Amino acid sequence: MVKGPVSLSDDVSLEGLQQELEECKNDDVVANILSKGIKLRDYTKTVEYNLREVELDSIQDYIKESDNLVSLRDQIRDCDISLSQMESLLSGFQAEIGSISSDIKVLQEKSMDMGLKQKNRKVAESKLAKFVEEIIVPPRMVDVLVDGEKFVAADPLVKTSMALKDAQPELERLCQEAVSKEHGKEVYTEVRAAYIDTMNKVLTAHFRSYIQALEKLQLDMASSSDLIGIEARSTGLFSTRRERLKNRSSVFAVGDRINILKDIDQPALIPHIAEASSEKYPYEVLFRSLHKLLMDTASSEFESLFYEIFAGPFAVIDEHFNTILSNSFDAIGLMLMIRLTHQHQLTMSRRRIPCLDPYLDKVNITLWPHFKMVFDMHLGSLRSANVNTLWEDDVHPHYIMRRYAEFTALLILLNMEYGDGQLEMNLDRLRMAADELIMKLAAQFHKAKLQTVFLINNYDMTIAVLKEAGSDGGKIQMQFEEMLKSQTAIFVEELLLEHFSDLIKFMKTRASRTLRSNLSNE
């Protein structure tokens, strides 16, 4: 607004005013103002007030939507980042596609070159094939020229050969033997029989003395009393404590016994050295050493007379082995011998010497039934165990369960690379028998809480032993984990009932009322 008088000398131009008035004549707002005679100053104040109200309302709306605007801003920023990453990814794809395109061009060029080379080779082959067929020498002619006696006798290079000079005495001896066999059959038969008799006696005496020396190095073997389910203490006034053999390997513990499979190719034991160091070994170590000596001797003596020469050594070894086997109740040792026999078969197969195949097959066939018998004895000891004599008023893991866990862990470990389904089925039977026995022992506790704690401790110990052995417990371990989980849930529920019984009763009552109410509403 212009205050004060306005003179004609002021720089106010009225040019075009009439035109603007004509243009605004049809405007409803301007026409309304002019028709009502409203003062411009008042109308201006009204407009300013309305604008201020609108501005304040807009500010309030902005404040109300500030969180949404911030969220929108963050979303836009995230979208921008995602689009940037996608752009980088697409750029990388584009570069890779370009690289692949260039590789395809290179491969096309190589393919064309190879096609050209193949074409040239086919042309050369077609031209050379006929020539080669014409100049080739028949194999029969080559044999006559190179290996014929006349050619060899006339070749001066053969007579001056150092290899011939070294082998000349042996060749002459072989020639004499061949002549004796061909032209002096009586002499040959006599020499052959003398050789068989001499070598048979020598090897028989050698293996007999070696077996006797090994027996001095043997640890005491497990007896029929060393079963999983047999109690480890005297149980009555007239019962005697089972004698514990000090000079023996552990029947159930994993220990280092499985390492024998890693030492399969080590030299056989030298008895006097081992005896001088006062070393004692479980029988599977002696079994490996004896058969290592047998394989090495058989490899050096493998000829047409092998079975006649080795009849005596086989008889000595069979006698020794049958004696040992009849007194062996060590299931772990028997399984180790089965695995050792399999490794021995592989060794002889690699040497391409099949002479021991019948013997090793017989050993394998003998070991498996005896292992099954001893395994069934362990199974029977668990099923027929006397719960009253085995039970102890102690919730710690029971020694029977530790025996079972160590025994099972080692058998699983020995079966990992073989996948014997029959052994897996027997182990599952053993697990069910052990679980049934441990449930009977738990039932001897008068309090349910102690029963649950006893089961939890035994299951947890079994899982720990299976894992500690380094074996994949597989199905058996999973079953014990499920049983541990179930007993743990029962223990938690019993513990809550012991301390919060009123609260639990209230919650159950409230839940039942709510359920009835919902059912009635439906």
**pLDDT-derived band at 139, boundaries 50, 70, 90:** confident
Alpha helices in 303-356 (DSSP H): 306-309, 311-326, 331-351
**pLDDT-derived band at 44, boundaries 50, 70, 90:** confident
- For the chain, give the mean pLDDT: 79
Structure tokens at 129: 């094939």
Judge whether residue 5 has pLDDT over 70: no
**pLDDT-derived band at 339, boundaries 50, 70, 90:** very high
Structure tokens at 376: 């069934």
Judge whether residue 303 has pLDDT over 80: no
CB proximity list for 442: less than 8 A, separation 6 or greater = 451, 452, 454, 455
**pLDDT-derived band at 519, boundaries 50, 70, 90:** low
Contact criterion met (CB below 8 Å) for 308 and 200: yes
Burial string for 502-514 (b: 16+ CB within 10 Å, else e) reads eeeeeeeeeeeee
Judge whether residue 61 has pLDDT over 70: yes
- The mean per-residue pLDDT over the stretch 95-100 comes to 87
C-alpha distances (whole Å) from 87 to each of 73, 97, 377 are 21, 15, 72
pTM over 0.85: no
Contact criterion met (CB below 8 Å) for 204 and 313: yes
pLDDT given for residue 367 in this prediction: 93
Contact criterion met (CB below 8 Å) for 414 and 258: yes
Q: Which of 279, 280, 383, 407 shows the shortest CA–CA distance to 335?
A: 407
- The mean per-residue pLDDT over the stretch 326-342 comes to 90
C-alpha distances (whole Å) from 49 to each of 2, 31, 44, 56 are 21, 21, 9, 11
pLDDT given for residue 506 in this prediction: 65
Judge whether residue 14 has pLDDT over 80: no
Structure tokens at 154: 């006339």
